[in-house]
Structure 1
Amino acid sequence: MPRFTFPELPLDGLLRRAAARVPCTTALTSGATTVTYGQLDARADRIARCLARLTGRRDAVVGVANTLDTVFPAAYYGASRSGATVALINPLLNEHALHHVCATAGVEVAVVPRSTAEQLTKLRDRLPLLRTVVVTDADDGVVPGDAVPLHVALAGVPDDPYEPEGPGTDPGSVACLHFTTGTTGRSKGVRLTHRNVVANATQTALAHRLDATSVTLNHLPLFHVMHLNSAVSAGASQILCPDPDPVASLAVAAREGCTHYYGLPARLHRLADDPRLAQAPEGVPAGPRLTAVLSGGTALAPAAARRLQAALEVPVVQGYGLAELSPLSHTQRPGDAPVRGCVGWALPGTECRVVELDSRQPVPVGATGEVQVRGPQVMAGYQDDDEPSPVDADGWFSTGDIGHLDEDGRLYLADRLGDVFKYDNELVSPTSVERVIEDDPRVAECVVVGRPDPVHGATAWAGVVLRDPPPGPRDAVLASVAERANRRLAVFERLHTVEALDAVPRTPTGKPERQALRRRLRA
């Protein structure tokens, strides 16, 4: 296997390099707006100089909202170029979560849309470090409180190349603060170095086969920096598609000649079930240049992946990663058959092993345990010094995910460590039980959690969304669903309680809200 190498660049150096290599290549397209790499680099320079004036020093923390528009990439690379640490702010956060992110990161300047600026105005007395709020979408000049429109902040700022004074950026210094989704507890600030992010951008571009001829469709609700950095690393063009309609996104992909389609599992599930997909005219509805549909964030059901592959005539590829891994560590390869739980091979330069939960010793191939990853993308640590580090002295990061490796080195995931539960002394994987339930044609979707039990420790509780209309009285159908599933489940996995749901509660990234369900059941 060839040795994996990556450039020793600062984060913003990815954009500077792309602008030097392909200055006239389209970097971003959003609707009628097109931005070349040369233009994007110049915009990042202006924002860098502006932020340097606002912060007054190189080691400040600048919060940037990852909105799916052409402003975010310029603000993201510009903040890094100014010498600041970039704290990513999810613009969909509520006030409580937004305060946690800004307070934990120590945000001093926030570059955010008006909706987030309005929330920050209410929080200013609880965020003493926050000095300036810059509003990215206030072309009309209307901003809350003492916030400043971006075009006003940039007024008079030249766009000639900007380099901060002093020594160059240490690749081992912290470039970004990413926050975990908080599905198993409070959101944690993850410290990623310039080396972490640049290495993972290179790894992802290699694994996804991106180059300067690639055109990627970004059909996500927010801008994920993995897709941004990997495309910029390769000099690829990115098409931003904020329209949540998955079928409409295919038309955009065809019109723009996209080679790679990035989507969330929840949207891809809807696309696979959309009757309009089957009614598409002959040929590949997403365009003849499309080479792959890529999914990540949570599991995409193999049945949905197979339907998409058949309809689009291209591979549907599943990936795996965590914020602590910058974020990608594994991906399937084009041509891999969709298999439940399989997330493919480790990225170039990445090692993976599975260890026993108690002894922490590596287990044999095929045995289940906690997944550990080692590589240049493993984080530097958490922002909160009191948060225990999951990285051991040898560099192995404990992911908190349960899974196993096959003989070919492919990784299969079962559950989060916090989601599995024990019935007597047997470990139960909620995801494995869900897969059995969802094989029932009467079930649209479901979620399984452990319900506290004084005798067995915990028993399987299932929330089931029936297809509409249910074929018979609902209670009778639920009982039949449970009976059918239990015939295929081990004694310790069997369903003890089944409840009808209108929808499975999910996080903004599509993951089931198991923690909230467990709290309700405990209450």
Structure 2
Amino acid sequence: MPSSITYPQLPLDGLLRRAAERDPDGCALRTGSHWISFAGLDALTDRFAACAAHLTGRPGARIGVANTLGPEFPAAYYGAVRSGGTAVLVNPLIKEAGLLHVFSAAAVEVAFVPATTAELLGRLRERLPALRAVVVVGPEGDALPGGPSAARFPAADLDADACIQFTTGTTGRPRGVRLSHRNLVANAAQTAAAHRLHSGSVTLNHLPLFHTMHLNSAVFAGAAQVLCTSPDPLASLALAARTGATHYYGLPARLHRLAGQLAQAGPWAEGVPAGPALTAVLSGGTALAPATAAALSARLGVPVVQGYGMAELSPLSHSQSPDGGPAGSVGRPVPGTECRIVDLEGRQPLGARATGEVQVRGPQLMAGYLDPDEDPAVDGEGWLSTGDIGYVDEHGELFLVDRIGDVFKYDNELVSPTAVESVLAEDPRVADCVVTGWPDPVHGAVTWAGIVLREPYAPRLLDTLDSIVDGANRRLARFERIRRVEVVDAVPRTPVGKPERRRLRQALHSRAALEAAV
């Protein structure tokens, strides 16, 4: 991976305009049997830009765009920006309370959303005085108002906000992150370099939602994108083979399921079921267990690559090499990015393999939070305190331990839920798991585990649980050992696959208080 890179001096939507000029007939997006060229996507973007300009009547408006997995999202996203506005990303899976927070905090004036989200917004209109128009997009979409697509649009200030993205809210109320044109274009170039994307690449997105990182980096490189809307991992592999995918993007929860499916699939799955063109499987959103990554890599015959980032970093800051990396690492900094580890109390930089808080700085660092009263999390030298605990090895590879808010203390020892989960996940009887601390009057907290059992093992519930815990505890330190366990139907996760530990902790603390009162 290069240590530095040159970023084009373009507005965010200029990446698509450039791709359309370079390869007008090249495939930009494919969904099912339908595809759209770069020129076609650019023209559709002009239509959305004209619609946004017509409905807002001024540059600088904030325009909500739902990141659905279809061609309407990139056209609306780039169109909102091209009109002179700021695209506010809207998760179409969130409910009324989440929508109210996003639309109120960002003062959204116009929204491009699917019918289900439009229906929810209809119930909230009286509480959203800034919202002037809602346009339904997708299969049940409205005709776009707003005049010809050839309308002239204002020249963009590259330091102006291009996008507002809300954090996932796993540790509190979601915060609006302001990302400039420069931030997003820089990260598109960084991601394309880190993942080795080029005009001949074909990326397959097996994701529930469209993530701007995958969109912007592919458009920057002029790569084709294949959108897999089926949640079935094996179906996504078949699609990768049919379309000649070179890069397969998936979430850890789906990749964990895929590893289990392939292990039970029989001889037909030997070799490279995703097709001979595949060069890497890329995982993001949360940690993928090293054992799962190793099993997938062995079965598919390609490296399984992990990365690291957050909304405040546009979002990528680290990536393993597409050739692979050390087990458990999230890679080195992407080009032009610096990383260091600081002591949690003294805030002094630490040496190799010393554990502390991860700090990052680079051109992809956010312009700031939407609420100016939010803790800026960035010091005077431009270092972002990520809230993650980790260490860097002698080669610059970053290893994450856990979130500061997720670790807990048994006596005076820090316990990482993620580390315990990675041990549990290696047991073939475990379909999924989640770990957190259970309040304990003697030790402060003890390890609690919620386990989703694979189907064949459910009938012998107690024997199976005891065996799983015994096996895990033999590999865990004394202070990490699981002391409370129960079977759960599913692990509550965010749309990007992160366990919702905050909600889980609240429920367990309430149960612990009731037990103590008996």
Instruction: Give the TM-score taking structure 1 as reference length.
Output: 0.93
Letter in 2 for 1:159: S
Query: Cα distance, 1:283 vs. partner?
Result: 4.8
SS across alignment from 1:150: coil
Moved more, 328-337 or 91-100: 328-337
Alpha carbons 2:305, 2:325 under 8 Å: kept = no
Matched, 1:406 2:396: no
State yes or no: 1:374 paired with 2:346.
no
| Residue of structure 2 in register with 1:122 after alignment | 123
Classify the secondary structure of the residue corresponding to 2:395: coil
Measure the CA separation in 2 of the matches of 1:492 and 1:262: 36
What letter corresponds to residue 181 of structure 2 in structure 1? H
1:522 to 506, 509, 516: 509
* Equivalent runs, 1:284-433 vs 2, <5 Å: 284-337=272-325, 339-340=327-328, 342-433=329-420
SS in 1 for 2:9: coil
Counterpart CA distance in 1 for 2:288 and 2:30 is: 27
Deviates more, 1:469-478 or 1:456-465: 469-478
Residues 47 and 144, structure 2, Cα contact 8 Å, conserved in 1: no
Structure-1 separation of matches of 2:265 and 2:191: 29
Residue 194 (1) aligns with residue 181 (2): yes
**1:184 equivalent in alignment to 2:171:** yes
Q: 2:149 aligns with which of 152, 156, 159?
A: 159
Structure 2 CA distance for partners of 1:278 and 1:312, relative to 1, 3 Å: farther
Q: Deviations over 1:99-155 (max 9, x none)?
A: 11111111000000100000000000010000100001365xxxxxxxxx531425x
1:272-300 CA-to-partner distances (Å, cap 9, x unmatched) read 11157544366522222111111100112
2:215 — aligned with what?
Answer: 228
Q: How many residues align?
A: 508
> Does 2:497 align with 1:510?
yes
Structure 2 CA distance, aligned partners of 1:3 and 1:503?
43
Q: Which amino acid aligns with 2:142?
A: L
CA distance in 2 between partners of 1:282 and 1:429 (Å) = 35
The answer as to whether partners of 1:138 and 1:150 remain within 8 angstroms in 2 is: no
Q: C-alpha displacement at 1:478, in angstroms?
A: 2.8
Per mean C-alpha deviation after superposition, the further-off stretch among 189-198 and 485-494 is: 485-494
Cα pair 1:305 1:338 within 8 Å, conserved: no
In structure 2, stretches of 5+ residues that fail to align are 511-518
Matches of 2:271 and 2:149 in 1, distance apart? 45
The answer to whether the Cα contact below 8 Å between 1:261 and 1:294 also exists between their aligned partners in 2 is yes
**Contact 1:134–1:153 (CA<8 Å) still a contact in 2?**
no
Q: Distance in 1 between matches of 2:201 and 2:424?
A: 39
Would the aligned equivalents of 1:402 and 1:414 in 2 still touch at CA under 8 Å?
yes
- Cα distance in 2 for partners of 1:467, 1:40 equals 43
Amino acid across the alignment from 1:158: P
For residues 402 and 314 of structure 1, the distance between their equivalents in structure 2, rounded to whole angstroms, comes to 29
The match for 2:92 is 91
Give CA-to-partner distance per residue, 1:439-479, whole Å, 9 cap, x none. Answer: 44443332111122233222211212333343885334433
Amino acid at match of 2:153: P
CA–CA separation in structure 2 for the residues paired with 1:408 and 1:332: 12
Residue in 2 aligned with 1:5? 6
**Which digits, 9 at most, give the CA deviation of each residue in 1:35-92, with x for residues without a partner?**
1111111111121112111101101000000111111111110110000010000100
For 2:388, what is the secondary structure of its paired residue?
Answer: strand
Residues 242, 282 of structure 1: CA spacing in aligned structure 2 closer, same or farther, 3 A cutoff?
A: same
Residues 458-473 of structure 1 mapped to structure 2, 5 A cutoff: 458-470=445-457, 473=460
Q: Answer yes or no: is the 8 Å Cα contact 1:442–1:471 preserved in 2.
A: no
* TM-score (ref. length: structure 2): 0.94
When structure 1 is superposed on structure 2, of 197-206 and 285-294 the one drifting more is: 285-294
Summarize the Cα distance change of 1:253–1:470 in structure 2 as closer, same or farther, 3 Å threshold: closer
Q: Displacement of 1:431 after TM fit?
A: 1.2
CA distance in 2, matches of 1:257, 1:363: 44
CA distance in 1 between counterparts of 2:287 and 2:3 reads 30
Residue 382 of structure 2 aligns to a residue whose secondary structure is coil
2:194 paired residue number? 207
- Structure 2 matches for 1:11-160, cutoff 5 A? 11-137=12-138, 139=140, 149-153=141-145, 157-160=147-150
- Tell me by how many angstroms 1:496 deviates: 2.5
Q: What is the CA–CA distance in structure 2 between the aligned matches of 1:49 and 1:57, rounded to whole Å?
A: 11
**Paired amino acid for 2:268:** A
Structure 1 pair 486–269 and aligned structure 2 pair: CA distance change class (3 A): closer
Q: Distance in 2 between matches of 1:248 and 1:380?
A: 40
Hey, what's the Cα distance between the residues in 2 that align with 1:406 and 1:321? 18
Cα deviation for residue 185 of structure 1 reads: 0.9
Partner Cα separation in structure 2 for residue 209 and residue 350 of structure 1: 17
Aligned to 1:143: none
Of the structure 1 ranges 268-277 and 46-55, higher mean CA displacement relative to structure 2 is found in 268-277
Q: Distance in 2 between matches of 1:482 and 1:28?
A: 46
Cα distance in 2 for residues equivalent to 1:439 and 1:34: 40
CA contact (8 A) 1:247 1:277 kept: no
Q: Please say which of residues 331-340 and 12-21 is displaced more in the overlay.
A: 331-340
Which letter does structure 1 place at the counterpart of 2:114? P
Structure 1 residues 309 and 273, CA gap change in structure 2 (3 angstroms)? same
What whole-Å deviation, never above 9, does each CA across 1:3-48 have from its counterpart, x for those lacking one? 4220111111111111111111111111222211111111111211
Question: Structure 1 residues 437, 262: closer, same or farther in 2, change over 3 A?
Answer: closer
Give the CA deviation at 1:337.
Answer: 4.7
Structure 1: runs of 5 or more not aligned: 140-148
Q: Which has the higher mean CA deviation after the structures are superposed, 461-470 or 444-453?
A: 461-470
CA distance in 1, matches of 2:4, 2:425: 42
Would you say the 8 A contact 1:205–1:234 is kept in 2?
Answer: yes
Work out the CA distance in 2 between the residues paired with 1:78 and 1:467: 45
- What is the Cα deviation at residue 328 of structure 1? 0.6
